[in-house]
Structure 1
Amino acid sequence: MTPAPSASVATPRIAIVGSGFSGIGMAIRLQQMGITSFTIYEAASGIGGTWRDNAYPGAACDIPSHLYSFSFEANPSWSRAFSAQAEILDYLQHCARKYDVERYVRCNTKVSAARFDETRQLWLVDIDTNGARETIEADVLIAANGLLSRPALPRIDGIDRFEGKLFHSARWDHAYPLDGKRVAVIGTGASAIQFVPCIQPRVAHLDLFQRTAPWVMPKPDKPVGPRAHWLFRTLPFTQRVVRSALYWQHESRALAFVVNPKLMNAAMKFGRSYLERRVKDPVLRAKLTPNYRIGCKRVLLSSEYYPAVCQPNVDVVTSGIREIVADGIVTEDGVHHHADAIICGTGFQVNDVRAPFEVTGLDGTDLSTLWLRDGPQAYLGVSIANFPNFFMLAGPNTALGHNSMIYMIESQLQYIVDCLRVLRRRNARTMTLRADVQRDFNARLQKDMRHSVWATGCQSWYQTKSGKVTALWPGFTFSFRKLTRRVRPRDYRFAP
């Protein structure tokens, strides 16, 4: 459905872009406020966001199931300590059904651009539904696309000349048979360490192209038994106790991530010991040994990755890639690596990129231009100066290295609904973040970042090419929740 043709301050027309955890959570909170004049625009054919798109073999979460879920909708039936992709997607679909979100979702509808009409004080949003284009009006625009929504293909000469099968892990081609094939995998990040152990037994040979060795820790995954399911269903408070314990266990890790990176020394010692136990070949072990402080890049969890790369049909290639040719990959040392298929486990576009869609605010301010110039930047990852009534979920500097992203999303949901309450109380048409508030906030944020593990010298998707960390929150999550609990009206300018 589309937003109602007319609106007031009490019933704003709201356009939500994306139907993952953020979009579904936003829809639930709006209904709790009594607001039903909203539409979720989803480019894909179904809801789920990253857990719909990332359906590669072995896809799973690296945050415990009881913590990686909405606080208001516990699932007593998680099958494992760390849920797989299909189970998380089922959970999101369950939430959408239970809270009557589905009827507000418009699938196969891509938002291509949005511009603020200063005369009428509203957003004009360009959408494309199966090739049919139209422009809708919205009083409030909420971007719930998420950080990891745009796959990044590697910029390698000749990538278009490859005559075999090439795809990104987030666009896995399940119809293509890997069995008996020579497969090249580019990248050794969070996705690759999950799907490599799954495809290794099937392929004839696997060349794994590694630019930087990641820190890999064993994953304490195990099935959740029927007794625990019964306990969580019969006595729900027990699951809340488990969730709380997991939260504080993970939150304590922030001491090493953002307070004193030297506390990572013990984790590094354990990580090296784990590598030595699982990889006996000294040459291969040297290739797999990280050369940076743990936590500076994403810490990966897998108990299957090291055993998989030790198999005789796997080669870990550390020489840089020179080019992709019709039948494989040529590395800088001149070696030709034949491949029937190339799988890119190369992550997502997060930094040094445009906004998720074209967004134009006051005085023609273009969000992509700002982000390409200064790196992604916002206030609390939610509001951006010069963009009235425009809010983001999981925006800049809200990702985590130590705890559940759902906690951060719920904090932002609270902030946005409070923004809507403030608009209603003030009988205001729009609220626009003050530029000095955004500037001062980000100056403090980057100052805090200098003490974190992410500023210890490595290069990752957390940073822009200049080294500015624009993806992660440099503090405790409970501190972020305190900041987002209530809106400070003095941070904004209001238009009647």
Structure 2
Amino acid sequence: MTQQNITKQPSVIIIGTGFGGIGMAIQLKKAGFTKVTLLEKAERVGGTWRDNTYPGAACDVQSHFYSYSFEPKHDWSRKFGLQHELLGYMEHCVEKYGLAEQIRFNSEVAEAVFDTARNLWTLSLTNGQTLEAQVVITATGQLNQPAWPIIEGVEDFKGVCFHSARWNHDYDLQNKRVAVIGTGASAIQFVPEIAGKVESLTLFQRSAAWVLPKPDRRFKPWEHSLFKAVPAWDRLYRYLIYWKNESRGLAFTGFSSLLNVFARQAKKEAGKHITDPEKLKHIIPDYQIGCKRILISNDWYPAINRSNLNLVTDPIVKINASGVQTESGKHYPVDAIVFGTGFRASEFLSPIRVTGRDGITLNRAWQDGATAFKGITVSGFPNLFMLYGPNTNLAHNSILYMLESQFNYVLSCLQALQKYPGTAMDVRADRLKRYARSVQEDLEGSVWSSGCSSWYLDANGKNTLNWPGFTFTYRLATRNVNTADYQFLSPAG
């Protein structure tokens, strides 16, 4: 790359070093962008796979497809990657592509403000430092802010209390009386791991989850050898996973009756393992399968069937010094409480305060619900690009496929900015409005609109998370930027 091209490059700050931030940085490096800094609030990379270290933490997307297409790994231990392997994979990518020198750790962003006079973003960190860049790419993910339920008296509890995403490894659960609040994706994994160690486990369930068997197993040594020796087989294996997963998109977006086959499978699996009729009655959901996230596990129902596990569906009213009290007045004394209550997924970029043109904050722009053009850009916030933004989450395939689509789109935006040095690109308000309307219209006919309350919906009941179609249609829509969708702004000063 010539010196002239380098000087025309916009300076870039990427916030976050999970799969989104690391992958984006690699693609920028490959494309010759040199003025790139990654900010990480913690002491190491990894995002959600660094934070979620609870027992049994693993991915529910197949390992070969929950990894970058440009960086295959041939020696996954299992069909579905474990937390430590996924974290190790990301650390390998950082080392292989020489990203360490671009990362600033312990650098949490508190505020980002756009200066129209200079077309620059000023980022204020919680440690008091400030940084400037022409372009900001957010890769903070949707599963980084734990959701703590608001329960009266939780501060009075004298035992140990923690969230599954901030697991307390210093506390030994052996022979303890433990309460677990929540039966979502994390609880599905850690409850079976701890149920055999604790004296008693009281599981508080607000609503049941649909749980299907996990088609998981260890890879054999000869399979590792084959993946490594024949790259074409590795690619074909990944390709087959993609289309198997993608075919399920039909059921979620327009033919929800297809999901009834899986509902029958889940009921059959529960009936096979759970002998207590009362538990069986409450562990099967009463809502349309697919309306909430479908979970996969081979040991959830056997764990529920354990004699030392008490399934409680009576709503919690308060927590006191010694335990949990429910609506019926019953008190459950416990030594520890684990919150498996998920994340504030719809609060994108929280808790960063983002201010764009004319002093408009992102919170104000999103007062009717988060929305972004192709899930990436927001009108009034020039040169701000989001990875894994509004309506780019999936229920049927790998988010890494969506992220790689976004890498391509953001890269094409930065290449457009290179042609007009010093400008800032702002998506046109009418294009964003039209796009957002079409996404919501498509969501109306999906299974996620069948009436249940889920983390896919924000406080107003709007689905701001899920992509309402096939992932290949999203890839086609993001293969290149159409500059007509944007206005290019010169510095006001």
**What interval of TM-score do these two structures reach, taking the shorter chain for normalisation?**
over 0.9
Counterpart AA for 1:143:
T
- Corresponding residue for residue 438 of structure 2: 444
Out of 418, 422, 432, which is 1:424 matched to? 418
- Corresponding residue for residue 410 of structure 1: 404
- Corresponding residue for residue 452 of structure 2: 458
Aligned-CA RMSD value: 1.3
- Corresponding residue for residue 117 of structure 1: 115
SS at match of 1:369: helix
CA contact (8 A) 1:50 1:149 kept: yes
Displacement of 1:261 after TM fit?
A: 1.1
Superposed counterparts of 1:54-453, under 5 Å: 54-128=52-126, 132-351=127-346, 355-371=350-366, 373-427=367-421, 429-453=423-447
Counterpart AA for 2:314:
S
Distance 1:343 1:200 in 2: 13
Deviations 1:65-94 (A, max 9, x none): 011000000000000001110000000100
Distance 1:427 1:59 in 2: 45
Superposed counterparts of 1:45-56, under 5 Å: 45-56=43-54
Distance 1:236 1:280 in 2: 47
Distance 2:261 2:299 in 1: 22
Displacement of 1:103 after TM fit?
A: 1.3
Counterpart AA for 1:160:
E
CA contact (8 A) 1:329 1:337 kept: yes
Distance 1:15 1:326 in 2: 46
CA contact (8 A) 2:10 2:417 kept: no
Counterpart AA for 2:472:
F
CA contact (8 A) 2:292 2:448 kept: yes
SS at match of 1:96: helix
SS at match of 1:292: coil
Deviations 1:5-64 (A, max 9, x none): xx9872211111000000000110110111121111100010000000000000000000
CA contact (8 A) 1:352 1:465 kept: no
Distance 2:266 2:174 in 1: 32
Out of 8, 11, 24, which is 2:9 matched to? 11
SS at match of 2:373: coil
CA contact (8 A) 2:142 2:346 kept: no
SS at match of 1:173: coil
Distance 1:252 1:278 in 2: 29
Name structure 2 gaps, 5 residues minimum.
Answer: none
* TM-score, with length taken from structure 2: 0.97
Greater shift, 464-473 or 50-59, is seen at 464-473
Counterpart AA for 2:278:
V
CA contact (8 A) 1:46 1:107 kept: yes
Displacement of 1:133 after TM fit?
A: 1.1
Counterpart AA for 2:29:
Q
Distance 1:50 1:353 in 2: 15
SS at match of 1:47: coil
CA contact (8 A) 1:55 1:170 kept: yes
CA contact (8 A) 1:411 1:484 kept: yes
Identity rate, percent: 47
Displacement of 1:351 after TM fit?
A: 2.4
